[in-house]
Amino acid sequence: MAQWPYNTTTWRDLRFAHLALFPACKGCEAMGRLTRANTVDHIVPISEGGAAFPGHDGLRSYCQACHSAKTARGTEAGAIRSTKPRKGCDVDGWPLDPAHPWNSEKSLRADDPRPTPNLHNQLVSKDNL
């Protein structure tokens, strides 16, 4: 992380301000966990034409594990890009990997709401016995 723009005072100040405004990891938040972020990531990588010093709407806060998982699957990983699916589920029990078949539009029907991890509890409630 020693190359431009990450070695500048402008980036250090922007990173500090972003983590102060958005202290929770976005990746962990999607899984229903609350984790303090320690990394600020460009939504559009600089290598793909993203601004080096965007506004806060062009940045995301991540913990180190979520940032590594996101970067390993992104275009910025280059030749070592991982094609492995992201493991884990969100708070509703749906896979985090956007390419998982359950996340396809075919499985999202209006008459078939997404099940939740508490579906078993709903089916085995006192009213249904």
pLDDT > 60? residue 55? yes
- Would you place residue 99 in the very low, low, confident or very high pLDDT band (cuts 50, 70, 90)? confident
* Cβ-contact 107, 95 below 8 angstroms: no
Min mean pLDDT across 31-35, 39-43, 81-85, 119-123 is at 119-123
Residue 40, pLDDT score: 96
Mean pLDDT of 98-110: 65
Residue 62, pLDDT score: 95
Residue whose entry in the numeric block shows the structure tokens 């993203």:
50
* Cβ-contact 77, 86 below 8 angstroms: no
| Sequence-separated (6 or more) residues with CB below 8 Å from residue 63 | 25, 27, 28, 35, 36, 37, 38, 39
- Would you place residue 118 in the very low, low, confident or very high pLDDT band (cuts 50, 70, 90)? very low
Q: Which has more pLDDT, 42 or 105?
A: 42
CB neighbourhood size of 2 (10 A)? 5
Amino acid at 13: D
Q: What is the pTM of this model?
A: 0.63
Min mean pLDDT across 32-41, 73-82, 110-119 is at 110-119
pLDDT > 90? residue 36? yes
Locate 61 and state its tokens: 């806060």
